[in-house]
């Protein structure tokens, strides 16, 4: 599989993810709710979106994936995880990211006081853990989705 094909497949995963995640967010967040301690609607939406977008792309690119199957799926998955990491790393740009990280810390450690430097370190650790979890989820669900998607559409053997 050529590098251009890898990039096209990852771009397809990203576009399909965007098309799936929005509607799923609306449906699952309204059905499962969202609160300080309950983000199941959003979490389930992201997990399903990761899996379905990779599954659909695996189905679409099945012919290319069969050439060098594990190697191609691994390369696509790593490139997809790197793209997801870039987006997840920008979450602190959200206006309420810092206060949310502080709220999580204070909920676990009532009455704790930290200096500004300690708060920055805590927020960076919080972001590192978040990025780690998102990347692991993208790697695992991406690999599974691409593999299963490519299995759903096996290439037709030539009769020559």
Q: Report pLDDT digits (tens) over 12-24.
A: 999 999 999 999 9
Residue 29 lies in a domain: yes
* 88-99: average pLDDT: 86
Torsion of CA 87, 89, 90, 94, to 10 degrees: 110
Range of the domain at 123: 3-152
Q: Residue 45: name the closest of 30, 24, 26, 27 by CA.
A: 24
Residue 157 lies in a domain: no
Please, which pLDDT band fits residue 133 given cuts at 50, 70 and 90? very high
Residue 8 lies in a domain: yes
Mean pLDDT, the chain, whole residue set: 88
Of residues 2 and 48, more confidence is placed in: 48
Q: Say if CB 99 and CB 82 are below 8 A apart.
A: no
Residue 158 lies in a domain: no
This prediction has a pTM of: 0.83
Angle at CA of residue 71, ends 83 and 137, nearest 5°: 40
The structural domain count of the chain equals 1
């Amino acid at each position: 599989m050529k590098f251009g094909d890898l990039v096209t497949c990852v771009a397809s995963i990203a576009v399909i993810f965007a098309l799936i995640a929005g509607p799923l967010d609306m449906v699952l967040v309204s059905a499962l709710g969202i609160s300080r301690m309950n983000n199941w609607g959003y979490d389930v939406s992201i997990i399903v979106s990761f899996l379905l977008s990779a599954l659909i792309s695996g189905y679409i690119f099945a012919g290319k994936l069969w050439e060098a199957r594990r190697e191609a799926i691994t390369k696509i998955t790593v490139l997809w995880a790197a793209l997801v990491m870039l987006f997840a790393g920008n979450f602190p740009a959200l206006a309420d990211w810092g206060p949310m990280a502080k709220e999580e810390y204070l909920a676990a450690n009532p009455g704790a006081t930290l200096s500004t430097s300690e708060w920055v370190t805590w927020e960076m650790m919080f972001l590192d853990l978040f990025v780690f979890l998102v990347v692991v989820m993208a790697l695992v669900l991406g690999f599974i989705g691409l593999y299963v998607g490519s299995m759903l559409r096996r290439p037709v053997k030539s009769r020559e």
